[in-house]
Amino acid sequence: MDNEAEQPEFWDTAFNEKKEMWGFEPAKSAVITRDFFVAQSIKNVLIPGIGYGRNAAVFVEAGMSVTGIEISKAAIDMAKKHYGTDMTIYHGSATDMPFDNSRYDGIFCHALIHLLGEEDRKKLIRDCYDQLVDGGFMVFTIISKEASTYGQGKYISKDRYEMFGGVTLFFYDRESIADEFGNAGLLEVIEIEENYPFYLIKCKK
């Protein structure tokens, strides 16, 4: 594992200081994915990097059962406070998946994989794919090289920069998307504007 994948202190400090830093509205990507999952009759969803649960809520409201993975204990406590204690959230790094033997028919991973190094990104894609049922779908959202922050901060390696006080971001383009998701059932790539230009990647097992 790349060391920088394990940043519980960074995220705990961020959540303790900034609390619900993205508000209670879900990301656009979560709403799009919820609609897609509903259309595909998906019932069990895994959310690596679930944060304080603002995106999980839209899947739960649509009748899906949600399991999360989150590195920050502070974020898990906030998720439990706001969205109830029924949801299982494993405390740990998504790079240490699997956390259970379950198979999920949907996986939604928003703004997490681009925080990881190359080996951890590959492992996360493989581990998510392995936890899907046959015919299941996984959706990743990732920051694009079109983002204004691309190329800023400290250069780490090709398309990878350290910024925002200590996180490392890998900025994707169509080529790196094909490289990393091409063997994981890549189905569709959608451009979407979140707080930065993002790609939404749909894969099918």
Ligand X SMILES: C[S@@+](CC[C@H](N)C(=O)[O-])C[C@H]1O[C@@H](n2cnc3c(N)ncnc32)[C@H](O)[C@@H]1O
Residues of this chain that interact with ligand X (CB under 6 A) are 5, 7, 11, 22, 27, 48-49, 51, 54-55, 69-72, 75, 93-95, 110-112, 115
Between 8 and 185, CB nearer to ligand X: 8
How far, in Å, are 3, 64, 90, 197 from residue 46 at the CA level?
24, 10, 11, 24
Cβ proximity to ligand X: between 14 and 184 the closer is: 14
Q: Give the Cα separation of 36 and 42 in Å (integer).
A: 9
User: Measured from the CB of residue 31, what is the shortest distance to ligand X in angstroms?
Assistant: 12
Preceding peptide of 98 cis, ω within 30°: yes
Q: Between residues 75 and 87, which has the closer beta carbon with respect to ligand X?
A: 75
Nearer to ligand X, 95 or 176 (CB): 95
Residue 54 dihedral angles phi and psi, to the nearest 5°: -60, -35
Q: State both tokens at 160.
A: 């990878």
Give DSSP secondary structure letters for 121-189.
Answer: HHHHHHHHHHTEEEEEEEEEEEEBTTSTTTT-SEEEETTEEEETTTEEEEPB-HHHHHHHHTTTTEEEE
Instruction: Report the residue number, 27 or 125, with the smaller CB distance to ligand X.
Output: 27
Q: Please, are residues 125 and 184 in contact by the beta-carbon 8 Å criterion?
A: yes
Give helix 73-83 / helix 8-18 axis angle, nearest 10°.
40
Q: Nearest approach, Cβ of 113 to ligand X (angstroms)?
A: 9
Element containing residue 83 per DSSP (H, E) = helix 73-83
Smallest distance from the beta carbon of 134 to ligand X, in angstroms? 26
Question: Min. distance of Cβ 175 from ligand X in angstroms?
Answer: 23
In the complex with ligand X, which residue's Cβ is closer, 49 or 136?
A: 49
Q: How far is the CB of 156 from ligand X (least distance, A)?
A: 16
Nearest distance, CB of residue 50 and ligand X, angstroms: 6
